[in-house]
């Protein structure tokens, strides 16, 4: 059966495609639901991925905590939101605030920190942007954004942003004086295992203090920084340059891989013994 692969990606956002009006819905977190989400979303990653590697965490730690923080990352697949949740929750010990289209289809995500955006309606979309600025005031939370606005194919170039991130950053500067903005490279690699690994790298913190910069220019500059970070990560991994990475979790080898490693050790010991006898 043939599949129309051209329909896998679309420049039109889901809310515009469906053409359905949806009211704005803010995040509604609580200790109980965050406890549930913490275990559920972490177990999802452990179930589907071999490992979770991260790098550049010091860039987050070295930020100026007197100002709010925004994370921004590429968006290539359904797992990106789950990965973002674990970055904020497991690594940074913060609640996530994640903008999600069609949140009415997954209302429980609000309990984990998601809030809605309806891009069909400019008025409702603006409400989401203004809410994003307000949540930056909460020291318990990190705003996590996908500024491309749509899901793109893996390693799609050039990385181009809509102006939402720049709008939020500039409004945050007016409200709080400055804002920390950290690009995050996210990728999924198969490395000597039958399951992929999650690899992330936190880029250098960008401190923004000018709320007068042209919004399109700011968007292009932030997109360029993320693209360079993602390309750097891909180049390093492709050359087996793994220095600096830490591991959030790593699965045990499957039984047949364990036997493979065991047989290799036996073979190496036998070879070494033969060399010593010569």
> Which domains are delineated in the chain?
5-252 (3.40.1130.10)
Mean pLDDT of 149-166: 95
Using pLDDT thresholds of 50, 70 and 90, give the confidence band for residue 153: very high
Residues 201, 234: Cα–Cα separation, whole Å: 11
pLDDT at 22: 78
**What pLDDT, on a 0 to 100 scale, did the predictor assign at position 104?**
84
Lowest mean pLDDT segment, chosen from 24-38, 86-100, 261-275: 261-275
- Band the pLDDT of 253: cuts 50, 70, 90: low
Is the model's pLDDT at 19 over the cut of 80? no
Work out the pLDDT band at 193, boundaries 50, 70, 90: confident
CA distance 192 to 199: 14
pLDDT for residue 53: 98
Cut 0.85: pTM above it:
yes
Q: Tell me which residue of 277, 9, 63 sits closest to 179, measured CA to CA.
A: 63
| pLDDT at residue 17 tops 80 | no
Q: How confident is the model at residue 117 (pLDDT cuts 50, 70, 90)?
A: very high
Who wins on pLDDT, 255 or 192? Answer: 192
Question: Which 3 state secondary structure label does DSSP give 117?
Answer: strand
Mapped onto helix, strand or coil, the DSSP state of residue 90 is helix
pLDDT value of position 5: 75
Determine contact, residues 75/148, Cβ cutoff 8 Å: yes
- pLDDT at residue 131 above 70? yes
The pLDDT value recorded for residue 256 is 61
Report the C-alpha gap between 243 and 248 in whole angstroms: 15
Predicted confidence band of residue 105 (pLDDT cuts 50, 70, 90): confident
Q: Which residues, 6 or more positions from 59, have their beta carbon under 8 angstroms from its beta carbon?
A: 182, 202, 203, 204, 205
Report residue 123's pLDDT band, with 50, 70 and 90 as the boundaries.
confident
pLDDT at res. 268: 81
Residue 219 has a CB neighbour count (10 Å cut-off) of: 21
For residue 193, the 8-state DSSP code is S
- Interior angle at CA 263, CA 261 and CA 248, nearest 5: 10
Q: Would you state the pLDDT for residue 241?
A: 96
Structural contact between residues 100 and 117, judged by C-beta atoms closer than 8 angstroms: yes
Number of C-beta neighbours around residue 244 at 10 A: 13
| Whether residue 255 has pLDDT greater than 80 | no
Would you state the pLDDT for residue 25? 92
Report the DSSP beta bridge partners of residue 116.
100
120 Cβ contact list (under 8 Å, min separation 6): 15, 16, 18, 19, 20, 21, 22
Position 192 scores a pLDDT of: 84
Angle at 118 between CA 116 and CA 122, to 5 degrees: 130
What pLDDT sits at residue 60?
Answer: 98
Q: How far apart are CA 85 and CA 142, in angstroms?
A: 10
């Amino acid at each position: 059966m043939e599949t129309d692969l051209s329909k896998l990606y679309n420049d039109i956002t889901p809310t515009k495609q469906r053409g359905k009006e949806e009211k704005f819905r803010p995040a509604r977190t609580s200790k109980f639901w965050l406890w549930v989400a913490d275990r559920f979303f972490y177990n999802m990653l452990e179930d589907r991925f071999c490992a979770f590697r991260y790098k550049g965490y010091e860039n987050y730690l070295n930020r100026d905590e007197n100002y709010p923080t925004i994370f921004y990352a590429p968006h290539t697949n359904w797992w990106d939101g789950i990965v973002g949740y674990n970055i904020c929750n497991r690594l940074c010990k913060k609640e996530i605030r994640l903008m999600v289209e069609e949140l009415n289809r997954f209302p429980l995500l609000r309990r984990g920190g998601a809030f809605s955006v309806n891009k069909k309606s400019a008025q409702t979309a603006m409400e989401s942007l203004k809410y994003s600025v307000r949540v930056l005031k909460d020291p318990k939370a990190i705003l996590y954004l996908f500024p491309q606005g749509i899901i793109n194919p893996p390693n799609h170039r050039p990385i181009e942003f809509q102006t939402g991130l720049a709008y939020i950053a500039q409004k945050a500067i007016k409200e709080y004086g400055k804002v920390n903005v950290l690009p995050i490279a996210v990728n999924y690699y198969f490395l000597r295992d039958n399951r992929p690994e999650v690899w992330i790298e936190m880029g250098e913190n960008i401190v923004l203090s000018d709320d007068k910069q042209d919004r399109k220019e700011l968007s292009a500059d932030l997109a360029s920084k993320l693209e360079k970070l993602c390309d750097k990560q891909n180049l390093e991994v492709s050359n087996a340059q793994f220095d600096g990475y830490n591991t959030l979790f790593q699965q045990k080898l499957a039984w047949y891989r364990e036997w493979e490693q065991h047989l290799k050790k036996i073979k190496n010991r036998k070879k070494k013994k033969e060399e010593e006898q010569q």
